[in-house]
Amino acid sequence: MKRTHIAIIIFIAIAIGAIMVTINDASTYVGFDQAEENMGTKYTVIGYLDKDASMDYNARANRFTFTAIDKEGKKQKVFYNQPKPQDFERSEEITMKGFATDSAFVAEEILMKCPSKYNEQNEMAGYETY
C-alpha cells in the first residue's frame, strides 16, 4: 500500500471525526422549560416577542428586558445586555442564544426575522389611493 493511500485513510478518519464532533457541538433548539432544567447551560431558544408585555431598556445598566413566548407557548422574561435591537417590535421570530437563571433567561446573542419593510411601504402606497 502506498503512503499516499495511508494518508488519505487517515484524513477520511479525521473527516468522520469532524462530523461527529460537529454533531456533538451542535446545539438543539429548545424551549424555555428545557433551558430551566439546566440553569447556566447554554441553549438556543426560538420564540417570538410577547407584544402585550412591556419592554424596557435601561441604559445605565445596559440591559434590555422583554418577554418572549417560545414555540411551546411558554412566556419568559429575557435579559439582553445590549441596547434594544432595531425594529425589535416588528420581529416575527427571535432566535435567542443564552442560558436560564432564577429570574430570567439571559440572552447573549439575538437574531431576528423581520418582515421586509419594502413590502409594507408598497402596501401603503396601494391603500392610500382609495
Partner 1 sequence: MEYIGEHLLPGEIGRFSVSLAFGAAIVAFIAYYLNSKTEDKRYHKIARSAFLAHAAGVIGIVLSLFYLLLSHYFEYDYVWKHSSLDLEQRFVFSAFWEGQEGSFILWLFWHAILGLILMFTAKKWENHSMMVFSAVQAFLASMVLGIFPFGLKVGSSPFILMRETADNIGLPWTQVADYLDRFPAFMDGSGLNPLLQNYWMTIHPPTLFLGFASTLVPFAFAIAALLKGDLKSWVKPALPWAFFSVGILGLGILMGGAWAYEALSFGGFWAWDPVENSSLVPWIVMVGAAHLLLIYRNKKTGLRAAVFMSILSFILILYSTFLTRSGVLGDSSVHAFVDLGLSGQLLIYLLFFTVIALGLLIWRYRQFPSEANGDDLSSREFWMFIGSLILLISSFQIIFSTSIPVINKLIGPDGFISLLSDEMAPPLDAIKHYNSWQLPFSIVTALLIAIGQYLRYGKTKAKSFWKSISLSLAISLVITGLFAQLYSFWSDPLYLALLLTGIFAAVSNLWFWIVIGKRKWSFAGSSVAHFGFALILVGALISNGRQDVISHSKVNLGDGLPANENALMDLGDTIEMGRYQAVFEGMDTIRDKQFYEVSYFNSIGDAEPEFSLKPFLQMSEQMGPTPNPDTKHFWDRDIYTHVTYSSYLEPVSPDGFVNEAEVKLNKGDTAIYRNHFVILDSLSVNALFDEETQELKAAKLTSHLRVVNVLGEEFPITPAYIIENEMKDHRDTILDVQRMKFRFDDVELETKKIVLKAWTEQEEGVKPFIVQKAIIFPMINILWIGCILMVIGSFIAVWQRILKS
User: What cell was used for 20?
Assistant: 461527529
- For residues 85, 91, 96 and 102, what is the CA-based torsion angle, rounded to 10 degrees? 90
* 44 lies in the site for partner 1, by CB under 8 A: yes
Q: How far is the CB of 91 from partner 1 (least distance, A)?
A: 13
Q: Which of 69, 83, 92, 96 binds partner 1 (CB under 8 A)?
A: 83
* 28 lies in the site for partner 1, by CB under 8 A: yes
Q: Which of 37, 61, 72, 75 binds partner 1 (CB under 8 A)?
A: 61
* Count of residues touching partner 1 (by CB under 8 A): 60
In terms of Cβ atoms closer than 10 Å to its own Cβ (0-12, 13-18, 19+), residue 16 is: exposed
Q: Which residue carries 416588528 as its cell?
A: 90
* 19 lies in the site for partner 1, by CB under 8 A: yes
Residues contacting residue 109 through CB under 8 Å, at least 6 positions apart: 96, 97, 98
Distance from C-alpha of 102 to C-alpha of 56, rounded to nearest angstrom: 19
- Binding residues (CB under 8 A) for partner 1: these are 2-4, 7-8, 11, 14-15, 18-19, 21-23, 25-29, 42-44, 46, 51-57, 59-63, 79, 81-83, 86-87, 95, 97, 101, 106, 108, 111, 113, 116-119, 121-126, 128-130
